[in-house]
Structure 1
Amino acid sequence: MKTTIIKIALSLSVVCAGCDTDLQPYTGKSNETALSTLSDIQIATYGNYAMLVAEPYTRHYLTLNEWPGDNVVQSGADGDQASLGASYQHIPTMYPTTDFWQQSYKLIYGTNLIIERIADGESPELDQLKGENLFLRALAHFNLVRLFGRPFTQGNGENPGVPVILTAQPPMEVARNSVKEVYEAVIQDLEKASNLMTVEKNANFASRETAWALLSRVYLYQNENDKAIAFANKVIESGKYELANRDTYIKSPTLVPESNPETIFNFRHTIADNKDKNAVGSLYYNDPATLSTGWGEYYTSQSLMDLLMKHPEDARLKFITVHYINGVLQYRGTSPQYFINKFNWQEGIANLSSPVYLRLAEMYLNRAEALAKTGDAKGALDDVNLIRKRAGLTGNALYSTGNMQGHATALEVVLEERRMELAYEGHRPGDLYRNNLPLVRAYPGMHGTDNFHFRVEPTDPRVVFYIPEREIIVNPSLKQNP
């Protein structure tokens, strides 16, 4: 079958398991013709970035990676099937996982077309574009294996992961690679990408530093702590980024991300990309003055609110809008309405946001976690304190090896800080389960079988999602998660 590419690259015909095969070409050009010039390849690469901005990617990436944690609480019934993940009652036919899987492999296919087209060393410009597509392919595979494969630290990566697709002409049936094999492919892509990319780019595009940043995350998830430290150091020491000052940090959701000195990579949404009430920000926020801007049905959990309120001066409380009427805290069901505004008001538009995928604060916290695990408690606490100082905390709110404020280990301190700093950005369930920690919800909300006391062990089958049923049907080589 002759595959074709749409030059404006907002959708691609995909010949692989789990991808649509009946899309019609817009230009009728073969891949060889459509990707014949540098300009063609640049346009197609823009199209691959555009796939991240599509609702099936951005929204589902954030909800599927955040709602199964303990930072966000579902306040009541709603129409988003990602809530089945929040309650750990998800099913193989839910549309968020189906759509995310398909969009991810469309992105992988689009990157493969370009990667195969460019030989290394043809020109610095082509090397850069090849590197950017290698980064996007690595990102797509890694985000998939986090959702559908068990944490690497369980079984040392030998559990089933997702299919690794490294060609634009894969067989019609592909089996699941192991989690370890997926990680190996991701690391190989990122290392090569970092060597190929030499052009300075802002946070809307991949660069050498974005590859290093994602390598730091991947190695941390793999429990390769020395390497996680090394790549975090490369990003920090590059001098390209700096922690935003407190005021910039507080207003960061309202800024275009490339103007934030802390942002490494984001899913850049322009005004034309505004999803309005289908945006993730609409799920978290509804303007208290008008109650007309969003659904506002998922709130900050009481346990995270209590943690942040230990220090009312903490800047991270500014990402929460507490809903009062005449001074009275409002509830939906049993849940206080702690609206989350971290994905709102970019360029003054209520639900416009460019969610950040990588930022400098994470690099400090990646390094802190890895340092704690390798025995350098002081180094770990020093990195945590950098983040806390930026949040406006001083004095007794900072940690030392002689005063960890009731925490038994530096690692406990780091994981708590990651919870507060990276809240709502899709980290918390992974932080728990890769560290063999349970999810504990001892606060009101729609948690599943018990709406006041809910616990999920890291070995529970449902800490990963089912492979979408549609993919199993069209590709019998795929084996379902138990």
Structure 2
Amino acid sequence: MYKSLEDKIFTNQTQTNQYLSGLYKNYFSGLTRPDVSICGKYENFNNLTEEAGGLSTRTKSTEELTLASECNAYVGNRLKASIENVPYTRIRDCNCLLERIDDAGGDVSEVFRKQAKGQALVLRAIQYFDLVRLYGGVPLVTKVLDADAHNEASKLPRASVTQCIEQIVTDLNQAAEYLPDSWGAEDYGRFTRAAALALKSRVLLVYASPIFNRDWENSSNDRWVAALEAGLTAETELSKAGYGLYGSSAKDWEEMFLLDNTPCKEAIVVQLCSPELKLAINNGWENAIRMVSQNGGGGLAVPRDLYDNFPLADGRRAVDQAGNAINGYDSKEFFMDRDPRFYRTFAFNGTLWKVDNKADTVWLYRWMYPNPIDPEKLNVKYTEDNNKNSPVVVRKMSNPKALSADLGHSGIDVFEYRYAELLLNIAECYAATGNVEKCIEYLSKIRNRVGIPSAQNYGLGNFSDKYQAIEACLYERRVELAYEGKRCWDIWRWLLYEGGKSTDDLSLSEKSTCEALGVKPLNDISRQGAYVDAKSVNGSPFTEADPLWTARAAVCLDPDSERFAEQQLALRDFYRENFEITKLTTPMDNIGTPIYGGDGTTVVGYEEANISWRSHYYIWGFPENLLNFNTWLEQTVGWKDHNNAQGTFSFQDRESLTVK
């Protein structure tokens, strides 16, 4: 007799594959667009970065979260009778397969059983990694527990971060032994040995970073050494298995993201999507970034902090750490002579952005004209209803063949982890261990692929010390991985909101991380937007009709054109003659404080506000409901528990890994 239904499932290869497919779906059901998600849930953290404006609860100076009732409930709440797709349910499903498949009998081969266990181990590792990133140490459950609220064996304490990382690394090491180097075409998207090794590199990089590592400045620190070793091992094994950077141009880089249900040498972890309406995961990114004029959701406005930050065409920086223009850059003519990735990441006035595989030039300006009823007032008109509070919008990872009639059901795959990220991991580890030359070598690989000239180390120049090298790695990640859901975690692990000096639990050295790396803390910035206004050449008032409709017809910027340099100059001249950049009346970042006009009653705008992140937000506390029914669990330092007592669990420890 079978012990349970699960035992019977694992006696059959087809049923086991169906079980695994269900696990994949539960884990990646939130990965419906590339910018940000966590296991089982889509969550957008973009407005916690320079990639999007708009203050939220965690970045407003007027609000502060400290109570258990205000904590993120992702970890789950109390035990329920019904099954929910939450972290410890997903972990239990993995444990079930790992415990029972070897003893289930049936006609399942040993090779198949190992491959099934390898996939379950990677899934379990990914889930624990997400829990660690959100909560620090969490209870480690590695076997199936009875669903009984009174079961003493289930009263597991929070493990330390080191213990959690050890378990994650153990799982990934074992998975690498079980998984194949590749799958057949029908199984594309399943985890490979390469995926397990690359994920280990990502995990150990986070463990070595300042968020968990008080000794991060020590070039010989064992965590950095382990992370570097993991990255190099992954690189070697991935290269043997045929992985690598895709293509040798910016055009290839752009088209790489459009390989649909087709193996791509750069894709390490990939979510397969489908355009089907039922029982399928659709990629919602296309609809989100497309303009109203393209029948899309309206587009994603890009703060000036990000588009100014992209390099120039020769790889040198356009602005310094304070945001001041350098190396001949002019922010009013931001599209001139930029990094080749700039034109594949952003769209702006005059940009060719195909839809339905047809030419479509995007326009994002506005103009004012007298109100026909009250000429003393002005109406505002946005060209083609593209109302955006920035001159620049996101176009990265969009499909020129996307059907404007049905942008909401894109079937283009989502890359969660690609080879370029692995190379950037290695570069950062080299920087942190003091090997600046090797750091430059790996960063150069990223820039060489997209066609940046090799002079001055592809525009990187030379680094005076490891801190400058680390900052260069974070800078390159910000460009190469923009809108791929990585920037929020980079800011988090390097404590870049205020540098980590505001509480004892995050005090790492005499200098904050921001001071050490020479970067401006995000808590000091307000993300900037602007309007692009049509300007009247002769001073005559505009009418409701588009004043630039005829003049703009001759303007189009196409990075694939042989006349691209000439087109840039033409667009520059068009900007100079027809546009002016004006300040937003409602800043991207504000807390709703009005600015009144001369009469003292008319609101003419709103006050700008800076990001105001609190240090205890880096690691969430456990939610109140969970603590009420699991009273043995400690609350995180910086948060109050269910009895309003201060938390005692510290997520930073000085332990060393015993597993590498």
**When the two structures are superposed, what TM-score results if normalisation uses the length of structure 1?**
0.77
Deviation, 1:288, is: 4.8
Query: Does 2:131 align with 1:72?
Result: no
Per mean C-alpha deviation after superposition, the further-off stretch among 188-197 and 85-94 is: 85-94
Aligned twin of 2:392: 338
Query: Does 2:163 align with 1:181?
Result: yes
Counterpart residue identity of residue 13, structure 2: L
Aligned twin of 1:431: 490
CA distances 1:267-302 after superposition (whole Å, capped 9, x unpaired): 2222236666x935544x133533x32253x43332
Task: Assess, with a 3 A threshold, how the Cα gap between structure 1 residues 266 and 462 changes in structure 2: closer, same or farther.
Answer: same
Deviation, 1:415, is: 1.1
Counterpart residue identity of residue 328, structure 1: Y
Aligned twin of 1:370: 429
Q: Give the alignment of 1:8-407 within 5 angstroms.
A: 30-55=5-30, 60-61=37-38, 64=43, 66-67=45-46, 69-75=48-54, 83-85=56-58, 97-98=73-74, 102-119=85-102, 123-149=110-136, 161-169=137-145, 171=151, 173-198=155-180, 200-201=182-183, 204-223=189-208, 224-238=223-237, 239=239, 240-245=242-247, 246=249, 247-256=251-260, 258-272=262-276, 279=284, 282-283=287-288, 285-290=289-294, 292-296=295-299, 298-308=300-310, 310-311=312-313, 312-322=338-348, 326=363, 328=365, 335-336=389-390, 338-342=392-396, 344-345=398-399, 348=402, 350-351=407-408, 352=410, 353-396=412-455, 398-399=457-458, 403-404=462-463
CA distances 1:328-348 after superposition (whole Å, capped 9, x unpaired): 277999941633344544973
Counterpart residue identity of residue 49, structure 1: Y
Q: Is the 8 A contact 1:72 1:300 kept in 2?
A: yes
Deviation, 1:94, is: 7.8
In structure 2, list runs of 5 or more residues that go unmatched. 78-84, 209-222, 314-337, 351-361, 367-381, 498-520, 529-587, 593-606, 640-660
Aligned twin of 1:12: none
Task: Assess, with a 3 A threshold, how the Cα gap between structure 1 residues 334 and 473 changes in structure 2: closer, same or farther.
Answer: farther
In the alignment, the residues of structure 2 paired with residue 406 and residue 320 of structure 1 have an alpha-carbon distance, to the nearest angstrom, of: 32
Deviation, 1:197, is: 1.6
Task: Assess, with a 3 A threshold, how the Cα gap between structure 1 residues 229 and 98 changes in structure 2: closer, same or farther.
Answer: closer
Deviation, 1:473, is: 4.3
Q: Is the 8 A contact 2:431 2:466 kept in 1?
A: no
Aligned twin of 1:443: 527
Task: Assess, with a 3 A threshold, how the Cα gap between structure 1 residues 453 and 75 changes in structure 2: closer, same or farther.
Answer: closer
Task: Assess, with a 3 A threshold, how the Cα gap between structure 1 residues 99 and 348 changes in structure 2: closer, same or farther.
Answer: farther
Counterpart residue identity of residue 42, structure 1: N
Q: Is the 8 A contact 1:368 1:414 kept in 2?
A: yes
Identity among equivalent positions (%) equals 21
Q: Is the 8 A contact 1:114 1:130 kept in 2?
A: yes
Q: Is the 8 A contact 1:365 1:383 kept in 2?
A: yes
Counterpart residue identity of residue 73, structure 1: A
Q: Secondary structure at the match of 1:429?
A: helix
Q: Is the 8 A contact 2:58 2:613 kept in 1?
A: no
Q: Is the 8 A contact 2:47 2:53 kept in 1?
A: no
In the alignment, the residues of structure 1 paired with residue 526 and residue 390 of structure 2 have an alpha-carbon distance, to the nearest angstrom, of: 14
Per mean C-alpha deviation after superposition, the further-off stretch among 222-231 and 42-51 is: 222-231
CA distances 1:288-335 after superposition (whole Å, capped 9, x unpaired): 533x32253x43332111111533142254122336775627799994
CA distances 1:52-79 after superposition (whole Å, capped 9, x unpaired): 3323887642864742642321358xxx
Counterpart residue identity of residue 297, structure 2: G
In the alignment, the residues of structure 2 paired with residue 174 and residue 407 of structure 1 have an alpha-carbon distance, to the nearest angstrom, of: 41
Deviation, 1:397, is: 6.7
Q: Is the 8 A contact 2:37 2:485 kept in 1?
A: no
In the alignment, the residues of structure 2 paired with residue 87 and residue 253 of structure 1 have an alpha-carbon distance, to the nearest angstrom, of: 35
Q: Choose the corresponding residue for 2:469, options 397, 410, 424.
A: 410
In the alignment, the residues of structure 1 paired with residue 629 and residue 613 of structure 2 have an alpha-carbon distance, to the nearest angstrom, of: 32
Task: Assess, with a 3 A threshold, how the Cα gap between structure 1 residues 164 and 361 changes in structure 2: closer, same or farther.
Answer: same
Q: Is the 8 A contact 1:365 1:414 kept in 2?
A: yes
Task: Assess, with a 3 A threshold, how the Cα gap between structure 1 residues 267 and 389 changes in structure 2: closer, same or farther.
Answer: same
Counterpart residue identity of residue 362, structure 1: E
Structure showing the higher helix proportion among its residues: 1
Q: Secondary structure at the match of 1:259?
A: coil
Q: Is the 8 A contact 1:262 1:361 kept in 2?
A: yes
Aligned twin of 1:18: none
Per mean C-alpha deviation after superposition, the further-off stretch among 466-475 and 362-371 is: 466-475
Deviation, 1:414, is: 1.0
Deviation, 1:399, is: 4.9
Deviation, 1:401, is: 8.3
Task: Assess, with a 3 A threshold, how the Cα gap between structure 1 residues 134 and 252 changes in structure 2: closer, same or farther.
Answer: same
Q: Is the 8 A contact 1:67 1:73 kept in 2?
A: yes
Cα RMSD of the aligned pairs, angstroms, is: 3.8
Q: Choose the corresponding residue for 1:420, options 479, 485, 491.
A: 479
Task: Assess, with a 3 A threshold, how the Cα gap between structure 1 residues 402 and 337 changes in structure 2: closer, same or farther.
Answer: closer
Deviation, 1:34, is: 2.5
Counterpart residue identity of residue 47, structure 1: G
CA distances 1:104-133 after superposition (whole Å, capped 9, x unpaired): 333212211111113399611110110111
Q: Choose the corresponding residue for 2:619, options 457, 464, 469.
A: 464
In the alignment, the residues of structure 2 paired with residue 66 and residue 420 of structure 1 have an alpha-carbon distance, to the nearest angstrom, of: 17
Q: How many residues align?
A: 433
Counterpart residue identity of residue 67, structure 1: N
Q: Is the 8 A contact 1:148 1:466 kept in 2?
A: yes
Aligned twin of 2:322: none
CA distances 1:372-406 after superposition (whole Å, capped 9, x unpaired): 11111010011111111222211447458863599
Per mean C-alpha deviation after superposition, the further-off stretch among 325-334 and 38-47 is: 325-334
Deviation, 1:43, is: 1.4
**When the two structures are superposed, what TM-score results if normalisation uses the length of structure 2?**
0.58
Q: Is the 8 A contact 2:29 2:281 kept in 1?
A: no
